Structure 1
Amino acid sequence: MKIEMTVDIKKLIDLKQFKVLKELISEQSVPYIVEILEELEAEEKIVVFRLLPKDIAAVVFTELEIDDQKKLLALFKEEKLKEIIINMEPDDRVEIFEELPANVVKNLLNYLSPQERDQTLILLNYPQDSAGRIMTPDFFDLKEDLTVSEALKNIRTYGNEKETIYTLFIINHNRKLEGVIELKDLIFADDDKLIKDIMNKEFVYVKAYENEEEVAKIMKDYDLLALPVTDSEKRLIGIITIDDIVDIIEDSVTEDIQKMAGMGVTDTSYLHTSTWKLIKSRVIWLIMLLLLESTAAFIIDGYSHVLQKVTILAAFIPTINAMGGNAGSQMSAIIIRSIALGELEFKDMKRVFFKELLIGSIMGVILSIVMGFRAFVNTQNPMIILSLSISLIIVVIVSNLLGAILPFIAKKLKLDPALISGPLISTLMDVISMTVYFSVALSLLKDFI
């Protein structure tokens, strides 16, 4: 369907059938238009943007990848560029501005009214990952001494211009936040009731310098559609809406996945990330892991006399390594998720340690029994089977404990726990596994060596 639509649009552009094209794209949703634009050349994108209504064009533009936005900004004629910038939501505008060179931002600011320019500069002055940077100053507030009928009249008059009216924020004459009220509650209240008598005085808010990930957690925990943002004196200065939080959660999850995979963070989708940037984000970590992994070679070389006497031990090196890495990676994934969701804190580390000591011991024994039966296929020597089983028990316990404790330590050191994950745990456990494996083998098989 999308391919057919893209072909049709390209044909209509080639034939200069702009009236038909305008009717065609006007019937499509914003997400679908964004998907179609991904398949078009830059010049074809410009044609489509020329035909979109100005408010739709601004929304579509904010949904494009940043590299596409930069290309289009360079190609737009001044009138179209001005139209798009003016019609964007303040927080979306700031998100684009922060990715652009300072001289470009300066030129774009000239298209805005003095009030819009001041709003944009205020948002840009907040730290990048703060609530102030992602909030919108385009919100609807009500004075606490209004009656319900007066409030509803204000909403009907001005509400259509605001980002959301489903949650309304109540302020006093000094703009201090006093309460919130849902639109549905306002609609069903008596007309002569005062807002201050029916508003909810027990509400959640954040200050402008709060970290955006903490904001996302608060909105998730309280199931909010909009969250008020105040200055240090509790004056209402903006709101954060759920669509902004969805983007933050998506970015945070993407970042954690990339870190857990042992690579640098990229903020664009795969096809919009340059080859060199992808190489750079991965190769540094791979070099570090390669050097750490090579330590295992020195350990194996140090026990070469053991392998020469009991060659069957070499057959189980991959199994021991894999089990250590897998158990550690499983455990670190569980703990990292719990830390990220706020379910675990540093004070819980001791409880986690003893719980995972028990779990690791039980899993180690179960796996060692399976290993014993598996090893019997290759060797019937009970001491070799015993050394494999004991090694596996120790390796599983150690990897379980490392996977559980290292994320806590990382968090305490103000590092991202996601860094202590998959590839790093696996590589570290390879070194530890080989040390444990050959130490146990040397102790139990000394009569054979």
Structure 2
Amino acid sequence: MHAPELADVVAAADPDALADWLHHRALPADRSHALARLPRAALRALAGFAATDDTVELLDSVDDELAARLLRAAVPADSVRLVDALDSDRGADLLRELDEDTRGRILTGLPAERAAALRALLSWPVDSAAAHMVPETLTVSPGATAAEAIDTVRTRASDLRTDARTGAYIFIVESDGRLAGVVGFRDLVLAAPATPVATLMDTQVRTVAALDDAEDAARALDAYDLVAVPVVDERGRLLGIVTEDDAADIAAEEATEDAERQGGSAPLEVPYLRASPLLLWRKRIVWLLLLFAAEAYTGTVLRHFADEMEAVVALAFFIPLLIGTGGNTGTQITTTLVRAMATGQVRLRDVPAVLVKELSTGAMIALTMALAAVIRAWTLGVGPEITVTVALTVVAIVLWSALISSVLPPLLKKIRVDPALVSGPMISTIVDGTGLIIYFMIAHATLSQLQGL
């Protein structure tokens, strides 16, 4: 038997039917498509009759913008109830999607301690590790024994929210809040009851600073195969943890944003099918206008060398081929390099190694492409002088493109600019004009017809 449609569930206001619908619609994409089709009145009704656990499950399985839409539609009491039931990091993510007035009303309606925890998360820069952390952690003092630590954990765990997710690690914290070490829960349970926690803990704790980039925190979890990484302030005090779930969300979001930027567009921030034509226009037009302005200098270069093209008309035959080759070469390199930087494989100090690798590869590609250019020139019957000019230009443009494409992304990262901004269209634009200058300079050196121009 098939589960009813979500709209029918809402019309019937049947909590059991919603639970059945969630069971049969386990995929986030199916849930998102159904929830996105509900009008505001239906969203308000859903928030009102559904069991809190079921609504939270639904909110956790859809994107931030769609989940926030349900909170906006809900009556204030329901929105407060749902945010209070959400994990702290998830609740903070959704509150960021709301306007200031709505956010303020929800925070005012929450218990004081809960509201303070969420306000603390919202106070951090959105791209920082602290903005994505879970503030609830299981902690014990270094003076406790294993038995005392287990009793403390048992007592505190019943009061902690389900978002603590700290079953694997118990953090040892000094009286002033500084992180002293960490002990695995399994090690704690297996130790003799009188064993001091200080002798069990690992003091070499992998941590991230509160203001570190969230992507760095996600990378640390992956690199060191951790379940959670603690977030500390400038004095080493434990603020919270970034978990595996958080890291996966951060990595997916960063990968999507990088892909959109490399395509020459600002990140959409909503799923594509829910992006209106107006939003798509806003996200794309600024980049296109910038690229249009940058590309304008290509026309300036062509006008500057108009006499050369008039003297040797055949030079114009190869302009699309040459600038296209340079742009394609640069796009290949930046795509590979930006991804390697995003996964932590390449850092600024690796630039010399990257240059050697890419210029070596570029030399082999340049020779291969030069051979292809010779064949193309021969089929056009342009003569040996122009053939040599085109072949030499292909070599020079490929190497030039490899050089700038290898250096720009790490340099942008160094000055805290997203290297994904060096998109395929941007590299192509840079190479177009400079490639034409290289072409005509080589033509001046190799073609007798251009001597004196």
| Coarse TM-score class (shorter-chain normalised) | 0.7 to 0.9
Q: Matched residues in 1 for 2:351 and 2:116: separation?
A: 47
Q: Matched residues in 2 for 1:347 and 1:10: separation?
A: 56
Post-superposition offset of 1:395: 0.9
Q: Give the structure 1 partner of residue 386 of structure 2.
A: 384
Equivalent residue runs for 1:117-196 within 5 Å: 117-159=115-157, 161-162=160-161, 163-164=164-165, 165-196=167-198
What residue identity is the alignment partner of 1:104? T
Q: Is the 8 A contact 2:322 2:394 kept in 1?
A: yes
What residue identity is the alignment partner of 2:89? D
2:417 aligns with one of 411, 415, 418: 415
Q: Give the structure 2 partner of residue 314 of structure 1.
A: 316
Post-superposition offset of 1:17: 7.1
Query: Residue by residue, what CA displacement relative to the aligned partner does 1:43-72 show, whole Å, maximum 9, x if unpaired?
Result: 334444445431332242244444434443
Q: Give the structure 2 partner of residue 110 of structure 1.
A: 108
Post-superposition offset of 1:131: 2.7
Q: Given the alignment of the two structures, is residue 10 of structure 1 paired with residue 7 of structure 2, yes or no?
A: yes
Q: Is the 8 A contact 2:31 2:61 kept in 1?
A: no
Q: Given the alignment of the two structures, is residue 24 of structure 1 paired with residue 24 of structure 2, yes or no?
A: no
What residue identity is the alignment partner of 1:365? L
Q: Matched residues in 1 for 2:277 and 2:348: separation?
A: 39
Q: Is the 8 A contact 1:85 1:111 kept in 2?
A: no
**Secondary structure in 1 aligned to 2:380?**
coil
**How many residues are treated as equivalent by the alignment?**
445
Q: Give the structure 2 partner of residue 425 of structure 1.
A: 427
Q: Given the alignment of the two structures, is residue 214 of structure 1 paired with residue 216 of structure 2, yes or no?
A: yes
Q: Matched residues in 1 for 2:35 and 2:114: separation?
A: 28
**Secondary structure in 1 aligned to 2:436?**
helix
Q: Matched residues in 1 for 2:369 and 2:119: separation?
A: 60
**After the TM superposition, which of the residue ranges 180-189 and 239-248 deviates more from structure 2?**
180-189
Cα 1:312–1:207 change in 2 (3 A) is closer
Q: Give the structure 2 partner of residue 95 of structure 1.
A: 93
Q: Is the 8 A contact 2:129 2:217 kept in 1?
A: yes
**Secondary structure in 2 aligned to 1:293?**
helix
Query: Residue by residue, what CA displacement relative to the aligned partner does 1:229-287 show, whole Å, maximum 9, x if unpaired?
Result: 23333332322212122222222222222222222233222233343232122112212
Q: Matched residues in 2 for 1:441 and 1:26: separation?
A: 68
What residue identity is the alignment partner of 1:21? A
Query: Residue by residue, what CA displacement relative to the aligned partner does 1:353-384 show, whole Å, maximum 9, x if unpaired?
Result: 44433332332112111221232222162222
Q: Given the alignment of the two structures, is residue 255 of structure 1 paired with residue 257 of structure 2, yes or no?
A: yes
1:38 aligns with one of 13, 29, 36: 36
Q: Give the structure 1 partner of residue 336 of structure 2.
A: 334
Q: Given the alignment of the two structures, is residue 234 of structure 1 paired with residue 236 of structure 2, yes or no?
A: yes
The unaligned stretches of length 5 or more in structure 2 are: none
**Secondary structure in 2 aligned to 1:237?**
strand
Post-superposition offset of 1:116: 1.0
The unaligned stretches of length 5 or more in structure 1 are: none
Q: Is the 8 A contact 2:138 2:170 kept in 1?
A: yes
Query: Residue by residue, what CA displacement relative to the aligned partner does 1:369-403 show, whole Å, maximum 9, x if unpaired?
Result: 12212322221622222111111111111111111
Q: Given the alignment of the two structures, is residue 371 of structure 1 paired with residue 373 of structure 2, yes or no?
A: yes
Q: Matched residues in 2 for 1:34 and 1:286: separation?
A: 31
What residue identity is the alignment partner of 2:412? A
Q: Matched residues in 2 for 1:325 and 1:238: separation?
A: 45
2:81 aligns with one of 76, 80, 83: 83
Q: Is the 8 A contact 2:359 2:399 kept in 1?
A: yes
Post-superposition offset of 1:88: 1.4
Post-superposition offset of 1:225: 1.3
What residue identity is the alignment partner of 2:207? Y
1:61 aligns with one of 50, 59, 62: 59
Q: CA RMSD in A?
A: 2.9
Cα 1:34–1:418 change in 2 (3 A) is closer
1:72 aligns with one of 70, 73, 77: 70
Post-superposition offset of 1:327: 0.9
Query: Residue by residue, what CA displacement relative to the aligned partner does 1:324-369 show, whole Å, maximum 9, x if unpaired?
Result: 1011122222333343344444444344444433332332112111
Query: Residue by residue, what CA displacement relative to the aligned partner does 1:124-181 show, whole Å, maximum 9, x if unpaired?
Result: 2233332322222222122333333443444445435442112221224444322112
Post-superposition offset of 1:293: 2.0
Post-superposition offset of 1:301: 3.6
2:351 aligns with one of 321, 343, 349: 349
Cα 1:20–1:252 change in 2 (3 A) is closer
**Secondary structure in 2 aligned to 1:110?**
helix
**Secondary structure in 1 aligned to 2:390?**
helix
Q: Is the 8 A contact 2:327 2:401 kept in 1?
A: yes
Q: Matched residues in 1 for 2:149 and 2:54: separation?
A: 29
Q: Matched residues in 1 for 2:289 and 2:196: separation?
A: 67
**After the TM superposition, which of the residue ranges 381-390 and 256-265 deviates more from structure 2?**
256-265
Query: Residue by residue, what CA displacement relative to the aligned partner does 1:172-203 show, whole Å, maximum 9, x if unpaired?
Result: 44443221122233333334433222222221
Post-superposition offset of 1:12: 4.8
